[in-house]
């Protein structure tokens, strides 16, 4: 009886080569040493310690499995293996430098959401732009915090001027940008039109028309809290036909409205803007950004906003409780 079973011959084990990536910083150090001849001079040129240069070269030699330099009285001389590697090392460093230059040459604009170009945030980003050179800024308008959060996380936006309500995503950061005093906009025939300022308590029970207060927006929430604190009913009935229509309606004497002090309103001959005081309600605006953003201009914008911010004054200003901690000195 024959045995038809086939016996497979054992296969030799597969030996995998140890893979490694050349450290570009070490390769750059190698090239600089060949040009300066001394480790100390290479360290000064690279802006690191001589010990750090020695460690980079030691690691590079270990990765390559060869000795690259022999030290003499006249400096570091290339070994035969070092001479062979030099051409390739220069090519690697050159390609890396070219890639960086190409990307820097195509550096995109800093994209900043200002919500509305008539708002104080638009003026703030313009003032920042005037203080820096060779910086491109792309101003974007949207629907505020609702869209800015996702855009910042996706990287399609670098920063946004918003009122930060609730807890932002884990990787989002914000700094106070400004506190904008609330003004009352009335027609010239309104009983309050002749006042230089109006106490907020005097508006108790008076309905204020704000058709632009979009449900679930951060500004609608602010005015809801203001309404509750001082018993000022807010009428959000629309539709919202824009600022020109809003001003026309106020000028006709039919309604009164709240506006920000820095809002660039369309001019109308029959409207009067009056500061609200005692205390003065102030709208809190923050600069929101992603903590992992690598745009080179963002840090300068954050610093500019921080340097120009004036803290909340609890003795003469009013803020909703959720905003006070972030905007206090």
pLDDT one-digit tens code per residue, 149-206:
889 988 889 999 999 976 666 789 999 999 999 999 999 999 999 999 999 999 999 9
> CA 292, 27, 102, 44 torsion: positive or negative?
positive
Question: Which domain, by its residues, includes 231?
Answer: 179-281
pLDDT tens across 114-124, in order?
999 999 999 99
CA 139 to chain centre: 13
Each residue's pLDDT tens digit, 32-70: 998 888 898 888 888 899 999 999 999 999 999 999 999
Is the residue at 17 inside a domain? no
**Domain count for the chain:** 3
With a CB cutoff of 8 Å and minimum separation 6, the contacts of 209 are 235, 237, 249, 250, 255, 256, 257
Which of 80, 105, 130 represents a domain boundary (last residue)?
A: 105
Statement to judge: residues 140 and 185 lie in one domain: no
271-303 tens-digit pLDDT:
999 999 999 999 999 999 998 888 889 999 999
Cis peptide before 155 (omega within 30 of 0): no
Is pLDDT at 9 greater than 60 in this prediction? no
Domain CATH code at residue 262: 3.40.190.10
Same domain, 268 and 244: yes
190 located within any domain = yes
CA 236, 241, 246, 251 dihedral sign is: negative
Per the listing, tokens 């011959």 go with: 9
- Where is the domain boundary, 59, 77, 105? 105
Are residue 252 and residue 189 in the same domain, yes or no?
A: yes
For residue range 255-277, list pLDDT tens digits in order. Answer: 999 999 999 999 999 999 999 99
Domain assignment of residue 18, yes or no: no
- Of 81, 23, 97, 96, give the one whose Cα is nearest residue 55: 23
Is a pLDDT exceeding 50 seen at residue 110? Answer: yes
**pLDDT of 5 higher than 80:** no
Say yes or no: 309 and 169 in one domain: yes
């Amino acid at each position: 009886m024959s045995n038809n079973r086939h016996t497979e011959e054992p296969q030799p084990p597969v030996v995998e080569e140890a893979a490694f990536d050349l450290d570009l910083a070490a390769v750059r150090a190698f090239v600089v040493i060949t040009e300066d001849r001394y480790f100390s001079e290479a360290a000064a040129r690279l802006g690191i310690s001589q010990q750090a240069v020695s460690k980079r070269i030691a690691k590079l030699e270990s990765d390559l499995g060869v000795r690259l330099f022999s030290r003499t009285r006249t400096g570091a001389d290339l070994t035969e293996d070092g001479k062979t590697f030099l051409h390739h090392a220069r090519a690697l460093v050159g390609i890396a430098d070219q890639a960086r230059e190409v990307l820097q040459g195509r550096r995109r604009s800093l994209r900043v959401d200002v919500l509305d170009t008539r708002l104080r945030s638009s003026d703030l980003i313009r003032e920042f732009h005037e203080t820096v050179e060779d910086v491109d800024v792309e101003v974007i308008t949207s629907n505020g915090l609702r869209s800015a959060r996702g855009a910042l996380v996706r990287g399609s936006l670098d920063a946004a001027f918003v009122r930060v309500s609730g807890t932002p995503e884990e990787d989002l950061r914000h700094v106070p940008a400004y506190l904008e005093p609330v003004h009352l906009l009335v027609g010239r025939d309104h009983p309050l039109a002749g006042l230089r300022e109006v106490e907020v308590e005097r508006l108790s029970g008076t309905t204020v028309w704000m058709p632009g207060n979009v449900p679930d927006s951060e500004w609608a929430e602010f005015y809801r809290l203001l309404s509750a604190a001082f018993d000022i009913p807010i009428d959000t009935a629309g539709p919202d036909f824009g600022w020109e229509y809003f001003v026309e309606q106020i000028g006709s004497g039919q309604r009164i409205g709240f506006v920000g002090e820095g809002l660039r309103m369309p001019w109308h001959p029959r409207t009067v803007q009056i500061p609200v005081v005692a205390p003065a309600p102030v709208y809190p605006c923050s600069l929101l950004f992603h903590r992992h953003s690598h745009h080179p201009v963002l840090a300068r914008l954050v610093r500019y906003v921080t340097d120009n911010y004036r803290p909340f004054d609890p003795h003469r200003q009013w803020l909703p409780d959720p905003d006070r901690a972030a905007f206090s000195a």
